[in-house]
Amino acid sequence: MSMTALRLALYLYFARWLPGSEMPGGKLARQIRRAITAPLFAETGKAIHIERGAYFGRGNQIRIGSRSAIGVRCELHGPVTIGDDVMMGPNVAIHATNHAFTDLARPMIEQGFSESARVTIGNDVWIGRGAIILPGVTIGDHTIIAAGAVVTKDVEPYKMAGGNPARVIGDRRERAAN
């Protein structure tokens, strides 16, 4: 068994289920998850935070910046780049691929998946609980994605987006000026 396979097994069957950061023993659990998972990712910054129950496949298509967190029970599928200082609430789903459906002569279940389209999350981004980010989306620096948002299009820097489909609902610079 390769070291990568061993690390992945250790994470999936052990470290993934250790206590959350806010629970007793959480600080140690957080350090264990970081030590096991950091080498799995394509690239990592300093002090990354992988929370209880997070899923990211093999991790080899994920880039995660310094001081960024993958929240409780979050799922990352396909090529994803996460900048520095990114916060993710629980149950966030980021998908860089989708089911294929263009062949009307075949059931969708038989068509496999579409080509991957990298999802890019900028620096200093807050993604609220249960948000879903779909293939090819870029979220700009200093952005807030509201809880439950379904992000189907790019979101510019400093914007606040929410809804299904997500739309811009504010600008952080305007809020800061008040």
Query: Residue ranges per domain, the chain?
Result: 41-177
User: Tens of pLDDT along the chain (178 residues)?
Assistant: 799 999 999 999 999 999 998 899 899 999 999 999 999 999 999 999 999 999 999 999 999 999 999 999 999 999 999 999 999 999 999 999 989 999 999 999 999 988 899 999 999 999 999 999 999 999 999 999 999 999 999 999 999 999 999 999 999 998 776 6
What's the chain's Rg over C-alpha atoms? 17
Q: Quick one: tokens of 99?
A: 């089911």
Catalytically annotated residues? 99
Overall fold of domain 41-177: UDP N-Acetylglucosamine Acyltransferase; domain 1 (2.160.10)
Quick check: helix, strand or coil at residue 145?
A: strand
The reply to whether the predicted model has a pTM over 0.95 is: no
In whole angstroms, give the CA distance from residue 106 to residue 96: 23
Give me the pLDDT at residue 56, please.
96
Give me the pLDDT at residue 178, please.
65
In whole angstroms, give the CA distance from residue 136 to residue 68: 20
Q: Quick one: tokens of 8?
A: 């992945």
